[in-house]
Structure 1
Amino acid sequence: MTAPADETNTATRVPGWRLLLGNPVTVVSALVLAVVIVISAFATWLIPYGVNDIDVPNALQSPSGAHWLGTDELGRDVFSRVLVAIQASMRVAVISVAFAVVVGVTIGVVAGYRGGWLDTVFMRIVDVMFAFPVLLLALAVVAILGPGVTTTILAIGIVYTPIFARVSRASTLSVRVEPYVAVSRTMGTGHLYILTRHVLPNISGPLIVQTSISLAFAILSEAALSFLGLGIQPPQPSLGRMIFDSQGFVTLAWWMAVFPGAAIFVIVLAFNLLGDGMRDVLDPKQRTMIEARRKQ
């Protein structure tokens, strides 16, 4: 026996994709992220210059037809470096958040479903991790393991694991008392089957929204670590490191800081706005309000 996430008047409800398409902000955010995904997949083939091609005579050139976003202090093409840096940031964000989702959801679902001492132990560990500021905890992990891409991914993944554990546990606590779960238990259904067929499908909404928001903050965390010299290491370009390198040239070459910073701003904003739009569709209360406004 499988129960849907929301059985209330499903026949007359507006499909979720229509609600998403009816929100222009969400559509624009999705299009921006689609472009970012294309860049992340094909940056190596899209760049007009090598990211480490040094051309000192053409250093600090302003944006032009030859160099769309100008050049840096070594004559390297800023446009090419920004594209490759976006690719690196997205790779770090996606892998680290995927790690956080797998570990955090596993901990949260098991703790919420089993309860008892297991729930107490898991949640106290999560509370201890929550006591540390996000960036400080990431810095501590990187300081222990050393800077680099792998360490950055692990640090960000560890930092965001408690968030997914909390979200999944809270949702599981409400789902496990539903009648269809009780019926499955009385029929002798195994715990793994109940978790995969009843619990996980019914807590997926909050997790999807949290994933979108976490991707935004993972981009910021990677940029912060790289800015401090603890993230992606040179000569591989990263948005945070590009902003750090531009500090001494802000008055001479504003484009060195503005364009990497704009890339971070646009990607983070797009993820946040997409998360807000998905929350409106996946949250039953928000969705009911939207559908009521559409009928007026």
Structure 2
Amino acid sequence: MTEPIVDETPTGRVGTPRLLLSNPVTVAGAAVLVVVLLIAVGASWLAPYGINDVDVPSALRGPSGAHWFGTDELGRDVFSRVLVAIQASMQVAIVSVAFAALVGVTIGVVAGYRGGWLDTVVMRVVDVMFAFPVLLLALAIVAVLGPGVTTTTLAIGVVYTPVFARVARASTLGVRVEPFVQVSRSMGTGHRYVLVHHVLPNISGPLIVQTSLSLAFAILSEAALSFLGLGIQPPEPSLGRMIFDAQGFVTLAWWMAVFPGAAIFVIVLAFNLVGDGLRDVLDPKQRTQAEARRSR
């Protein structure tokens, strides 16, 4: 009566981990993310050169054994700068999405559970925020607060909060009418207990998928803000800023733009692949189709 419905596994159904591992695309995406996380943790030790070690005589040299990704216009090692830039991007993405998830889920769950005027007011505010393009709203926040890592993280977190609020509210509206929730409330169980032990476990699936997808978009948003000069500030490297700096050297040093761009592409693609895989096993309809494909 009180157990979360998403934790119930019908007899004969394939377990979630096995179903995930049966999808080679998802496994490949997860493997890439593991490598990215290792880079994010140990970039400072993995980088063979200092990110701001200037060596003008070695400027604009192509990829070689000494410099795997070549050097930039100041002779700095592009490989080392890409590693540290990945670390910075992941830090911004993880913190900003964690902020968005915490605030957005809280707002969405409370609004969906209580309903009434509170739900109406909260969702109208969310709709107003949705009326602005994500990047435009982030640019406005950074322009007001000033560029930097902290403001970039805050801006990305704010613009993705409505996404989590909507997902959490929609899922809560479906769960709050379930019999086990109604019975628990009729027995006098406190609202906080119902939310924590009954509602949240049953809406975790869509939220996990949304988190994976939001991390991908957060990486893109940080790169875009840095490209425009409003994100991570020099001399700290960022993938977007490295692409901006490479604009004047595209014909002379293609590697200055290609490798940072490839890093963004690979990370975003990996997050999306993992998000699709999670959706296939956490969404009941998608899971049934995935199990049918696996049984063939």
For Structure 1 versus Structure 2, the TM-score category normalised by the shorter chain is over 0.9
What RMSD, in angstroms, separates the aligned Cα atoms of the two structures? 0.9
- Structure 1 unaligned spans of 5+: none
1:39-58 map, 5 Å: 39-58=39-58
Q: Distance between the aligned counterparts of 2:291 and 2:220, measured in 1?
A: 34
Alignment correspondent of 1:167: 167
Q: Separation in 2 of the partners of 1:37 and 1:7?
A: 28
* Correspondence for 1:70: 70
Q: Report if the CA contact (8 A) 2:47-2:79 is conserved.
A: yes
Question: Which residue number in structure 2 is paired with residue 34 of structure 1?
Answer: 34
How many residue pairs get aligned? The number is: 296
Distance 1:156 1:149 in 2: 11
Distance 1:167 1:294 in 2: 29
CA distance in 2, matches of 1:258, 1:18: 36
Name the counterpart of 2:152: 152
1:221-236 aligned within 5 A: 221-236=221-236
List aligned pairs for 1:98-247, cutoff 5 A: 98-247=98-247
Query: Hey, what's the Cα distance between the residues in 2 that align with 1:220 and 1:290?
Result: 29
Spell out, residue by residue over 1:209-245, the C-alpha distance to the aligned partner (whole angstroms, 9 max, x if none): 0000000000000000000000000000000000000
1:19 corresponds to which letter in structure 2? L
Change (3 A) 1:56 1:7: closer
- Aligned to 2:252, the other structure's residue is in SS state coil
* Contact 2:6–2:201 (8 Å) recurs in 1: no
In 1: Cα distance, 2:251 partner to 2:7 partner: 60
Q: Which residue of 1 aligns with 2:92?
A: 92
SS in 1 for 2:66: coil
Indicate how the Cα distance of structure 1 residues 53 and 116 shifts in structure 2: closer, same or farther if over 3 A, else same: same
Aligned residues of 2:22 and 2:294 also touching (Cα < 8 A): no
SS in 2 for 1:3: coil
Q: Give, as a single letter, the amino acid of the residue that structure 1 aligns with 2:45.
A: W
- Over 3 Å counting, the alpha-carbon distance change for 1:9 and 1:236 in structure 2 is closer
Residue 24 of structure 1: aligned partner: 24
Cα deviation code 1:96-133 (max 9, x no counterpart): 00000000000000000000010011000000000000
1:279 corresponding residue in structure 2: 279
Deviation (angstroms), 1:257: 0.1
Per the TM alignment, residue 6 of structure 1 is displaced from its structure 2 partner at its CA by 3.9
Cα drift, residue 9 of structure 1: 6.0
Shift of 1:43: 0.3
SS of the residue 1:53 aligns to: coil
d(CA) in 1 for partners of 2:11 and 2:28?
29
Code of the residue aligned with 2:264 in structure 1: it is I
Distance 1:252 1:135, change over 3 A: same
Q: Which segments of 5 or more consecutive residues in structure 2 lack a partner in the other structure? A: none
Rounded Cα–Cα distance in structure 1 between residues aligned with 2:141 and 2:188: 44
Deviation at 1:12, TM superposition (A): 1.3
In structure 1, C-alpha distance between the alignment counterparts of 2:289 and 2:46, rounded to whole Å: 43
Given residue 73 of structure 2, which amino acid in structure 1 is its aligned partner? Answer: E
Equivalent-residue separation in structure 2 for 1:179 and 1:116 (angstroms): 21
Cα distance, 1:295 vs. partner?
Answer: 2.6
Contact 2:40 2:87 in 1 (8 A): yes
| SS of equivalent residue, structure 1 residue 10 | coil
- State the TM-score, normalizing by the size of structure 2: 0.99
Cα distance, 1:72 vs structure 2:
0.1
Percent of residue pairs identical: 80
In structure 1, the partner of 2:268 is 268
